[in-house]
Structure 1
Amino acid sequence: MSLKALATKSVQYNNWVVHKYIDWLATKSDEQLNREVISSFPTILKTLHHIWQSQEFWWSYISESHDFDFEKTSSITDKEGVFNAIKNNSQKLADYVETLSEEDLIKNIKIETQWFQCDFSRYEYIQHIILHGTYHRGQIVTMGRNAGITDAPMTDFNFWNIYKD
Protein backbone atom coordinates (compact mmCIF):
# COMPACT_ATOMS: atom_id res chain seq x y z
CA MET A 1 0.00 0.00 0.00
CA SER A 2 1.36 3.42 -0.89
CA LEU A 3 1.74 6.19 1.65
CA LYS A 4 -0.92 8.13 -0.27
CA ALA A 5 -3.40 5.25 0.09
CA LEU A 6 -2.53 4.81 3.76
CA ALA A 7 -2.90 8.52 4.53
CA THR A 8 -6.19 8.75 2.64
CA LYS A 9 -7.59 5.71 4.39
CA SER A 10 -6.45 7.02 7.78
CA VAL A 11 -8.12 10.41 7.45
CA GLN A 12 -11.29 8.83 6.06
CA TYR A 13 -11.39 6.57 9.11
CA ASN A 14 -10.74 9.52 11.43
CA ASN A 15 -13.55 11.49 9.80
CA TRP A 16 -15.94 8.54 10.19
CA VAL A 17 -15.00 8.14 13.87
CA VAL A 18 -15.48 11.84 14.58
CA HIS A 19 -18.94 11.72 13.02
CA LYS A 20 -19.83 8.55 14.96
CA TYR A 21 -18.80 10.17 18.24
CA ILE A 22 -20.57 13.45 17.56
CA ASP A 23 -23.77 11.67 16.46
CA TRP A 24 -23.58 9.56 19.62
CA LEU A 25 -22.83 12.44 21.98
CA ALA A 26 -25.47 14.67 20.38
CA THR A 27 -28.07 12.40 21.98
CA LYS A 28 -26.69 13.04 25.48
CA SER A 29 -27.77 15.72 27.89
CA ASP A 30 -25.81 18.89 28.50
CA GLU A 31 -25.50 17.75 32.11
CA GLN A 32 -23.79 14.52 31.03
CA LEU A 33 -21.47 16.30 28.59
CA ASN A 34 -20.49 18.87 31.22
CA ARG A 35 -20.28 16.60 34.27
CA GLU A 36 -16.84 16.96 35.82
CA VAL A 37 -14.77 13.80 36.10
CA ILE A 38 -11.08 13.21 36.68
CA SER A 39 -9.30 13.03 33.32
CA SER A 40 -6.97 15.10 31.13
CA PHE A 41 -9.81 17.59 30.73
CA PRO A 42 -12.63 17.91 33.26
CA THR A 43 -15.61 17.26 30.97
CA ILE A 44 -16.50 15.38 27.80
CA LEU A 45 -17.30 18.64 26.01
CA LYS A 46 -13.98 20.19 27.02
CA THR A 47 -12.19 17.06 25.82
CA LEU A 48 -13.93 17.34 22.45
CA HIS A 49 -13.01 21.00 22.33
CA HIS A 50 -9.38 20.10 22.95
CA ILE A 51 -9.42 17.48 20.17
CA TRP A 52 -10.84 20.04 17.76
CA GLN A 53 -8.51 22.84 18.86
CA SER A 54 -5.53 20.52 18.47
CA GLN A 55 -6.71 19.45 15.01
CA GLU A 56 -6.95 23.11 14.03
CA PHE A 57 -3.47 23.82 15.38
CA TRP A 58 -1.91 20.96 13.40
CA TRP A 59 -4.02 21.76 10.34
CA SER A 60 -2.46 25.22 10.18
CA TYR A 61 0.97 23.59 9.80
CA ILE A 62 -0.03 20.65 7.61
CA SER A 63 -1.74 23.00 5.16
CA GLU A 64 1.11 25.50 5.56
CA SER A 65 -1.45 28.26 6.09
CA HIS A 66 -0.10 29.12 9.55
CA ASP A 67 -3.45 30.68 10.38
CA PHE A 68 -4.21 29.02 13.73
CA ASP A 69 -6.09 31.46 15.93
CA PHE A 70 -6.09 30.35 19.56
CA GLU A 71 -8.48 33.12 20.61
CA LYS A 72 -10.99 32.21 17.90
CA THR A 73 -10.94 28.50 18.74
CA SER A 74 -11.14 29.29 22.45
CA SER A 75 -14.30 31.34 21.93
CA ILE A 76 -16.31 28.39 20.59
CA THR A 77 -17.32 26.38 23.65
CA ASP A 78 -21.01 25.56 23.23
CA LYS A 79 -22.06 22.02 22.32
CA GLU A 80 -23.28 22.75 18.79
CA GLY A 81 -20.31 24.97 18.02
CA VAL A 82 -17.76 22.37 19.13
CA PHE A 83 -19.65 19.53 17.42
CA ASN A 84 -19.81 21.40 14.10
CA ALA A 85 -16.23 22.63 14.32
CA ILE A 86 -14.69 19.21 14.93
CA LYS A 87 -16.79 17.62 12.17
CA ASN A 88 -15.86 20.39 9.73
CA ASN A 89 -12.17 20.15 10.55
CA SER A 90 -12.13 16.36 10.17
CA GLN A 91 -13.84 16.61 6.79
CA LYS A 92 -11.50 19.41 5.73
CA LEU A 93 -8.51 17.21 6.60
CA ALA A 94 -9.92 14.22 4.70
CA ASP A 95 -10.65 16.36 1.63
CA TYR A 96 -7.20 17.93 1.78
CA VAL A 97 -5.31 14.65 2.04
CA GLU A 98 -7.10 13.37 -1.06
CA THR A 99 -5.48 16.24 -3.01
CA LEU A 100 -1.95 15.45 -1.84
CA SER A 101 0.65 13.52 -3.77
CA GLU A 102 3.12 11.05 -2.33
CA GLU A 103 5.73 13.83 -2.52
CA ASP A 104 3.45 16.20 -0.60
CA LEU A 105 3.05 13.60 2.15
CA ILE A 106 6.76 12.97 2.60
CA LYS A 107 7.66 16.67 2.52
CA ASN A 108 9.12 17.80 5.81
CA ILE A 109 7.52 20.78 7.50
CA LYS A 110 9.51 22.63 10.10
CA ILE A 111 7.54 23.86 13.08
CA GLU A 112 8.88 26.35 15.58
CA THR A 113 6.59 27.33 18.43
CA GLN A 114 7.13 28.63 21.93
CA TRP A 115 6.62 25.07 23.19
CA PHE A 116 8.64 22.93 20.78
CA GLN A 117 10.50 22.67 17.50
CA CYS A 118 10.28 19.77 15.08
CA ASP A 119 10.83 18.93 11.44
CA PHE A 120 8.78 15.90 10.38
CA SER A 121 6.96 14.81 7.27
CA ARG A 122 3.46 16.06 6.62
CA TYR A 123 2.26 12.47 6.95
CA GLU A 124 3.71 12.17 10.46
CA TYR A 125 1.74 15.25 11.54
CA ILE A 126 -1.40 13.78 9.98
CA GLN A 127 -0.75 10.55 11.84
CA HIS A 128 -0.31 12.54 15.05
CA ILE A 129 -3.70 14.25 14.62
CA ILE A 130 -5.40 10.88 14.25
CA LEU A 131 -3.59 9.20 17.14
CA HIS A 132 -4.09 12.21 19.41
CA GLY A 133 -7.83 12.15 18.72
CA THR A 134 -7.94 8.39 19.31
CA TYR A 135 -6.23 8.82 22.68
CA HIS A 136 -8.77 11.39 23.85
CA ARG A 137 -11.78 9.55 22.41
CA GLY A 138 -10.77 6.60 24.59
CA GLN A 139 -10.87 8.95 27.55
CA ILE A 140 -14.32 10.14 26.49
CA VAL A 141 -15.65 6.58 26.69
CA THR A 142 -14.33 6.26 30.25
CA MET A 143 -15.58 9.72 31.19
CA GLY A 144 -18.95 8.81 29.72
CA ARG A 145 -19.19 5.75 31.94
CA ASN A 146 -18.66 8.03 34.93
CA ALA A 147 -21.47 10.26 33.65
CA GLY A 148 -23.87 7.35 33.12
CA ILE A 149 -23.26 6.96 29.37
CA THR A 150 -22.72 3.30 28.55
CA ASP A 151 -23.63 3.02 24.87
CA ALA A 152 -20.45 4.13 23.12
CA PRO A 153 -20.37 3.24 19.41
CA MET A 154 -18.02 0.63 17.97
CA THR A 155 -15.25 2.60 16.26
CA ASP A 156 -12.37 0.15 15.94
CA PHE A 157 -10.41 0.57 12.72
CA ASN A 158 -11.01 -3.06 11.74
CA PHE A 159 -14.78 -2.62 12.19
CA TRP A 160 -14.69 0.41 9.87
CA ASN A 161 -12.41 -1.34 7.43
CA ILE A 162 -14.78 -4.31 7.13
CA TYR A 163 -18.14 -2.53 7.15
CA LYS A 164 -17.45 0.95 5.69
CA ASP A 165 -18.98 0.26 2.27
Structure 2
Amino acid sequence: MNHPEQMYHYHVWASQIIMQRIQELPATVLHQEVNSSFPTLAHALSHMYAVDQMWYLVLTGTSMPEALQICMTRNGETFATIEKYFERNAELSNQYLNWFSQQTDLEQTFLLDNPFAGVRQTSFAEMVLHLVNHGTYHRGNISTMLRQLGHASVMNDYFRFWYENPNTAE
Protein backbone atom coordinates (compact mmCIF):
# COMPACT_ATOMS: atom_id res chain seq x y z
CA MET A 1 0.00 0.00 0.00
CA ASN A 2 1.36 3.44 -0.88
CA HIS A 3 1.68 6.26 1.65
CA PRO A 4 -1.24 8.44 0.44
CA GLU A 5 -3.55 5.43 0.48
CA GLN A 6 -2.34 4.46 3.96
CA MET A 7 -3.03 8.01 5.12
CA TYR A 8 -6.51 7.80 3.63
CA HIS A 9 -7.12 4.62 5.66
CA TYR A 10 -6.00 6.55 8.74
CA HIS A 11 -8.45 9.35 7.85
CA VAL A 12 -11.36 6.90 7.63
CA TRP A 13 -10.34 5.16 10.85
CA ALA A 14 -9.91 8.42 12.79
CA SER A 15 -13.28 9.75 11.62
CA GLN A 16 -14.91 6.49 12.71
CA ILE A 17 -13.21 6.72 16.12
CA ILE A 18 -14.52 10.26 16.72
CA MET A 19 -18.01 9.34 15.49
CA GLN A 20 -18.00 6.29 17.77
CA ARG A 21 -17.23 8.61 20.67
CA ILE A 22 -20.19 10.83 19.73
CA GLN A 23 -22.36 7.71 19.43
CA GLU A 24 -21.55 6.80 23.06
CA LEU A 25 -23.04 10.09 24.25
CA PRO A 26 -26.71 11.09 24.50
CA ALA A 27 -28.17 11.50 21.00
CA THR A 28 -28.94 15.17 21.72
CA VAL A 29 -25.21 16.01 21.85
CA LEU A 30 -24.97 15.77 18.04
CA HIS A 31 -27.20 18.83 17.61
CA GLN A 32 -26.43 20.66 20.86
CA GLU A 33 -25.32 24.21 20.17
CA VAL A 34 -21.80 25.24 21.12
CA ASN A 35 -19.90 28.49 20.65
CA SER A 36 -17.03 27.12 18.60
CA SER A 37 -15.76 26.56 15.06
CA PHE A 38 -19.13 25.10 14.06
CA PRO A 39 -22.53 25.63 15.71
CA THR A 40 -22.95 21.88 16.40
CA LEU A 41 -21.03 18.62 16.10
CA ALA A 42 -23.41 17.70 13.26
CA HIS A 43 -22.33 20.81 11.33
CA ALA A 44 -18.66 19.89 11.76
CA LEU A 45 -19.29 16.33 10.54
CA SER A 46 -21.36 17.62 7.62
CA HIS A 47 -18.57 19.99 6.60
CA MET A 48 -16.03 17.15 6.68
CA TYR A 49 -18.32 14.94 4.61
CA ALA A 50 -19.04 17.67 2.05
CA VAL A 51 -15.34 18.45 1.59
CA ASP A 52 -14.41 14.75 1.34
CA GLN A 53 -17.11 14.37 -1.29
CA MET A 54 -15.89 17.46 -3.15
CA TRP A 55 -12.30 16.15 -3.31
CA TYR A 56 -13.57 12.77 -4.50
CA LEU A 57 -15.32 14.50 -7.39
CA VAL A 58 -12.13 16.44 -8.22
CA LEU A 59 -10.02 13.27 -8.07
CA THR A 60 -12.42 11.56 -10.47
CA GLY A 61 -12.36 14.34 -13.05
CA THR A 62 -14.88 17.01 -12.03
CA SER A 63 -13.51 20.55 -12.12
CA MET A 64 -13.03 22.06 -8.67
CA PRO A 65 -15.46 24.95 -9.31
CA GLU A 66 -18.15 22.45 -10.35
CA ALA A 67 -17.37 20.09 -7.43
CA LEU A 68 -17.60 23.03 -5.03
CA GLN A 69 -20.96 24.02 -6.46
CA ILE A 70 -22.27 20.46 -6.07
CA CYS A 71 -20.95 19.79 -2.57
CA MET A 72 -20.74 23.05 -0.68
CA THR A 73 -24.51 23.46 -0.68
CA ARG A 74 -24.49 20.29 1.45
CA ASN A 75 -22.01 21.87 3.86
CA GLY A 76 -24.73 23.20 6.17
CA GLU A 77 -27.13 20.29 5.82
CA THR A 78 -27.02 18.04 8.85
CA PHE A 79 -28.17 14.46 9.33
CA ALA A 80 -30.55 13.61 12.16
CA THR A 81 -28.47 10.81 13.69
CA ILE A 82 -24.83 9.83 14.09
CA GLU A 83 -25.72 6.53 12.41
CA LYS A 84 -26.51 8.44 9.22
CA TYR A 85 -23.00 9.97 9.34
CA PHE A 86 -21.53 6.47 9.67
CA GLU A 87 -23.60 5.30 6.69
CA ARG A 88 -22.74 8.23 4.43
CA ASN A 89 -19.04 8.13 5.33
CA ALA A 90 -18.90 4.38 4.64
CA GLU A 91 -20.47 4.89 1.20
CA LEU A 92 -17.98 7.61 0.33
CA SER A 93 -15.07 5.60 1.72
CA ASN A 94 -16.00 2.70 -0.55
CA GLN A 95 -15.96 5.06 -3.52
CA TYR A 96 -12.48 6.27 -2.54
CA LEU A 97 -11.21 2.70 -2.06
CA ASN A 98 -12.51 1.78 -5.50
CA TRP A 99 -10.75 4.85 -6.92
CA PHE A 100 -7.48 3.87 -5.19
CA SER A 101 -7.74 0.33 -6.64
CA GLN A 102 -7.78 1.83 -10.14
CA GLN A 103 -4.76 4.11 -9.69
CA THR A 104 -1.33 3.21 -11.02
CA ASP A 105 0.45 6.53 -10.38
CA LEU A 106 -0.61 8.83 -7.55
CA GLU A 107 2.24 11.19 -8.46
CA GLN A 108 0.40 11.91 -11.72
CA THR A 109 -0.41 15.62 -11.92
CA PHE A 110 -3.21 17.62 -13.41
CA LEU A 111 -4.22 21.26 -13.49
CA LEU A 112 -6.26 22.17 -10.41
CA ASP A 113 -8.37 25.30 -10.83
CA ASN A 114 -8.98 26.35 -7.23
CA PRO A 115 -11.35 29.35 -7.23
CA PHE A 116 -9.91 30.49 -3.87
CA ALA A 117 -6.21 30.14 -4.61
CA GLY A 118 -5.70 29.93 -8.36
CA VAL A 119 -4.47 27.36 -10.84
CA ARG A 120 -1.60 24.96 -10.14
CA GLN A 121 -0.28 21.55 -11.10
CA THR A 122 -1.28 19.14 -8.34
CA SER A 123 -0.70 15.43 -7.90
CA PHE A 124 -3.30 12.95 -6.77
CA ALA A 125 -1.02 12.19 -3.79
CA GLU A 126 -1.00 15.87 -2.74
CA MET A 127 -4.77 16.02 -2.90
CA VAL A 128 -5.18 12.88 -0.79
CA LEU A 129 -2.74 14.21 1.82
CA HIS A 130 -4.63 17.51 1.86
CA LEU A 131 -7.89 15.63 2.41
CA VAL A 132 -6.37 13.76 5.37
CA ASN A 133 -4.92 16.95 6.83
CA HIS A 134 -8.27 18.72 6.49
CA GLY A 135 -9.96 15.88 8.37
CA THR A 136 -7.35 15.95 11.13
CA TYR A 137 -7.88 19.68 11.57
CA HIS A 138 -11.63 19.30 11.95
CA ARG A 139 -11.43 16.25 14.19
CA GLY A 140 -9.44 18.57 16.45
CA ASN A 141 -12.33 21.05 16.29
CA ILE A 142 -14.73 18.26 17.23
CA SER A 143 -12.54 17.24 20.19
CA THR A 144 -12.60 20.82 21.45
CA MET A 145 -16.35 21.06 20.91
CA LEU A 146 -16.89 17.84 22.87
CA ARG A 147 -14.91 19.28 25.79
CA GLN A 148 -16.89 22.53 25.61
CA LEU A 149 -20.06 20.43 25.85
CA GLY A 150 -18.72 18.72 28.97
CA HIS A 151 -17.59 15.44 27.42
CA ALA A 152 -14.18 13.86 26.95
CA SER A 153 -12.99 13.30 23.42
CA VAL A 154 -11.05 10.27 22.23
CA MET A 155 -7.48 9.86 20.99
CA ASN A 156 -7.44 9.50 17.22
CA ASP A 157 -3.80 10.30 16.48
CA TYR A 158 -1.94 8.61 13.66
CA PHE A 159 0.31 6.74 16.06
CA ARG A 160 -2.72 5.05 17.68
CA PHE A 161 -3.72 3.96 14.18
CA TRP A 162 -0.29 2.29 13.79
CA TYR A 163 -0.82 0.15 16.87
CA GLU A 164 -4.42 -0.75 16.14
CA ASN A 165 -3.60 -1.55 12.52
CA PRO A 166 -0.19 -3.28 12.67
CA ASN A 167 -0.11 -4.12 8.95
CA THR A 168 0.24 -0.36 8.21
CA ALA A 169 3.98 -0.62 9.00
CA GLU A 170 4.60 -2.53 5.75
Q: Which runs of 5+ in 1 are unaligned?
A: none
Counterpart of 2:116 in 1: which secondary structure? Answer: coil
2:32 is aligned to 35
8 A Cα contact 2:51 2:71, kept in partner: no
Tell me how large the CA RMSD over aligned residues is: 2.3
1:118 corresponds to which residue?
119
> In the TM superposition, what whole-angstrom CA distance separates every residue of 1:27-82 from its partner, at most 9, and x where no partner exists?
32342122222322111110000000001111111121457423773585223433
Q: Is the 8 A contact 2:43 2:76 kept in 1?
A: no
Identity fraction in percent: 22
SS at match of 1:109: strand
Q: Which TM-score applies when normalising by structure 1? A: 0.82
Q: CA, structure 1 residues 72+38, in 2 after alignment: closer, same or farther (shift >3 Å)?
A: closer
In 1, are the aligned partners of 2:10 and 2:161 still within 8 Å (CA)? yes
Q: State the partner residue of 1:45.
A: 42
Q: Does 1:23 align with 2:24?
A: no
Correspondence for 2:145 among 143, 157, 162: 143
Match of 2:162 in 1: 161
Ranges in structure 2 where 5+ consecutive residues have no aligned partner? none
Aligned length: 159
The 1:74/1:132 distance shift into structure 2, 3 A limit, reads: closer
Choose from 47, 52, 55 the match for 2:52.
55
Residues 95 and 157 of structure 1: is their aligned pair in 2 closer, same or farther, counting only changes over 3 Å?
farther
The SS at the match of 1:154 is coil
Contact 1:11 1:97 survives alignment (8 Å): no
Distance 1:117 1:99 in 2: 28
Report SS of the residue matched to 2:8: helix
